[in-house]
Chain A
Amino acid sequence: MTSILVHVDQLPTAFRTAPMPRHRVDARQWNQAGEALAAGELTLLGLWAHGATVHMALLDQAANRIGIVSLGNRRGSFPSIGRLHAPAIRLERTIADMSGLEPEDAPDSRPWLDHGRWGVSHPLGKLETSWAKAKPYPFLPVEGESLHQIPVGPVHAGIIEPGHFRFTAQGETVVRLEARLGYVHKGIEKLIQGGDLERGMTLAGRTSGDSTVACQWAYAQAVEAALAVKVPARALYIRAIMAELERLANHLGDFGAICNDAAFAMMLAQAGVLRENVLRAADTCFGHRFMRDCVVPGGVSRDLTAEGVATLQALVAAIRERFPKLVALYDNTASLLDRTVATGYLKPELARQFGAGGFVGRASGRDFDVRRNLAYAPYDELAFEVPARDDGDVNARVWIRIEEIRQSLSLIGQCLVSLPDGPVRAEIPVAGEPREGIGLVEGFRGDILVWLALDAKGRIARCHLRDPSWFQWPLLEAVIEDNIVADFPLCNKSFNCSYSGHDL
């Protein structure tokens, strides 16, 4: 056991109620952390830079503890973690693009989010005007007999987000997929810098539109921890209701869409109706179909009325009645299972190594859910199960989602019954000193991390938003290997990574 583990010392009871400490480490300890990650003793939660310092968030999954280690100014560079632990590679390429800090001996020194089109370089570091023209991106070389390449994107055929996929195929079989992302990079972390808490909330809610509740909740958690704000119980329950509605809507939509990508359009039609019912109920209760800007630092901006409770109870009852029929239809349609079973297999070792969150991890043996492992209120008071299995194919991911839909229905039901009375929003104080806090929320895709540094006036010095997709996109490239090109949409939809959440 390496001594670095002593720095991974924060239990949820601590970091969820108080500012998040950081441990300053030297290069030797930094490398030790990299070795502990490579050995599987720790899981990488995030890696980002603030000024000339690099921060790394680590999870000790066995002990349910987290920690942040920081490596200070080393004249513009830091020892690469990616050279020891592959999941860090893209995060380091991003640090180099955004902050201009170079990972030493990094295995991949290509730019990642910076396509050479911003007109500036290192927007989060020493911002410099850049006159360089966009250069062609060097994709990894592929060698072998009778290989051909299929470039796809950034503009895709369907209604989906932009990204580029470079397939190398031998006949029908994919031998390598390499993704190039960053097309929807909007500079969110720079836009937040120097802003007030409200600006941060607005932008956090627009990093990935499908996870707006989860992102804003994670952001609110970071603010509340940094300033030690006690959120009223009623607000916590309403947040959970909204978060589970969001999970429900996304899982229902994707369940239909996955089947549709296997040419079973009827499921899309059926599940689409249920999804629309969820969104309409959300609109009725909270005034917005995606419940955007409803979670605010200190609580929620909309209370749930008695009629709202009744609307949601009716919704839950209706889905409980209807959904099992769709599940039976899925389970009894051999032509559909023929497409989903054994397709897009993700090895449990990879899921563990990358710390894959959500249904991607849980379908490949990584039994982790922030709501349980790093519990936050009100989930510590609610009863739910975390489904997990290890068969790792498209079918397994579908089943995890089916189970999670059931769990979400149960959770919403529980919250409605035991909804506490009282206020729904607490005051946000000004600390008068710099503060830092962390937020970790289980979105429908997996764990969303928000790290926030506030200055003495309460303005945002740095806000880092890490979408679960960071650790899932690379795995998509692994699972498509040896599958046929035509199964890519199916594999892709079964992951449903966020482009915008990743590109920021």
Chain B
Amino acid sequence: MHRFLLEGLLGRPLTEKPPVPADIEELGAAMAKAAQTRLGRSLSIRQVDAGSCNGCELEIHALNNAYYDLERFGLHFVASPRHADVLLVTGPVTKNMAEALKRTYDATPDPKWVVAAGDCAANGGCFAGSYAVVGGVSEIVPVDLTISGCPPTPTALLEGLLAILEQSARPAKAG
């Protein structure tokens, strides 16, 4: 084990340069409600699978690997919606999960943002129209940002989350 620790100390990090945050107009309005003082440069993310095929989850997991190293940006995953600023929701919302998603949203304190990750979360994807599916995440809770892809790459996810981070760090507009 010591060899591994030593390698880690002496070797060059694998972690890559951060991508440029996505430029997203749609965030502006939502972010006006942000109080920077309350959030600082850190966001807690609660992931909710509302019906995904588990492909999106795999790429969200990848954000934690050494190449993307999500935590260096002050972004980290939390176990409870009560600790979360951001709900990262995947999948078409199934009818069997709709209530759980709504309840998770309600349990998340304000201010909060909802990110719909993946084509399914955007509009139901290839499952749209099924008797068992409500549709995209916005059918159940208000969505602030959509990240497309099937699944979105870790880089795309990172771009989106960084954009939220930037917006949340801006001083809230008066009014």
Contacts and interface: CB of A to CB of B under 8 A. Distances in A.
Contact of A183 (B56, B58, B66, B94): B94
Interface residues of B, number: 49
Interface string B104-148: 100000000000000000000111011111000000000000000
A162 B100 contact: yes
Interface string A185-215: 1111011000000000011001111101000
Contacts, number: 141
A29 interface: no
A340 B151 CA distance: 32
A479 B65 CA distance: 30
Interface string A308-330: 00000000000000000100010
A99 B157 CA distance: 39
Contacts of A206: 53, 55, 125-127, 150
B151 A203 contact: no
B62 A209 contact: no
Interface string A481-504: 000000000000000001110000
A120 B131 CA distance: 7
Interface string A159-175: 11110000000000000
A289 B153 contact: yes
A185 B104 contact: no
A184 B79 contact: no
Interface stretch (A5-13, A86-94, A230-238, A265-273): A265-273
A464 interface: no
A15 B157 CA distance: 43
A422 interface: no
A186 B77 contact: no
Contacts of B126: 191, 202-203, 206
A501 to B, nearest CB: 8
Interface stretch (A34-42, A66-74, A111-119): A111-119
A190 B94 contact: no
A290 B151 CA distance: 9
B101 to A, nearest CB: 8
A273 B65 contact: yes
Contacts of A161: 49, 52, 54, 57
A183 B97 contact: yes
A279 interface: yes
Contacts of A253: 58, 61
Contact of A119 (B48, B65, B131): B131
Interface residues on A, range: 35 or more
Interface string B86-101: 0000011011111110
Nearest to B134: A117
A466 interface: no
Nearest to B67: A276
Nearest to B133: A186
Nearest to A273: B66
A215 B88 CA distance: 27
A275 interface: yes
Nearest to A134: B99
Contacts of A418: none
B49 A160 contact: yes
B31 interface: no
Nearest to B127: A186
A253 to B, nearest CB: 7
A209 B132 contact: no
Contacts of B67: 273, 276
Interface string B41-61: 000000111111111111111
Contact of A272 (B49, B66, B153): B66
Interface in A23-69: none
A298 interface: no
B94 A185 contact: yes
B58 A210 contact: yes
B53 A273 contact: no
A443 interface: no
A125 interface: no
Interface in A101-155: 115, 117-120, 123, 127, 154-155
Contacts of A202: 126
B61 A212 contact: no
A159 B60 contact: yes
A33 to B, nearest CB: 31
Interface in B140-172: 150-151, 153
Given A119-B131, A123-B132, A329 B1 contact: yes
A383 interface: no
Contact of B62 (A120, A276, A329, A333): A276
B37 interface: no
A82 interface: no
B121 to A, nearest CB: 13
B48 A117 contact: no
Contact of B100 (A127, A154, A191): A154
B64 interface: yes
A188 B55 contact: no
A118 B95 contact: yes
A187 B131 contact: yes
A305 to B, nearest CB: 21
A275 B66 CA distance: 11
Contacts of B130: 186-188, 190-191
A182 interface: yes
A500 B80 CA distance: 22
A432 interface: no
A155 B49 CA distance: 8
B55 A210 contact: yes
A120 B132 CA distance: 9
B104 A155 contact: yes
9 contacts: A117-B96, A159-B49, A159-B60, A184-B51, A186-B51, A187-B127, A253-B58, A289-B59, A325-B4
Given A159-B60, A269-B66, 8 more contacts: A118-B132, A157-B80, A184-B94, A191-B129, A203-B126, A272-B65, A325-B4, A332-B1
Which 8 A-B residue pairs are closest in the complex by CB-CB distance?
Answer: A209-B55, A187-B132, A157-B79, A272-B65, A187-B130, A209-B53, A117-B95, A209-B54
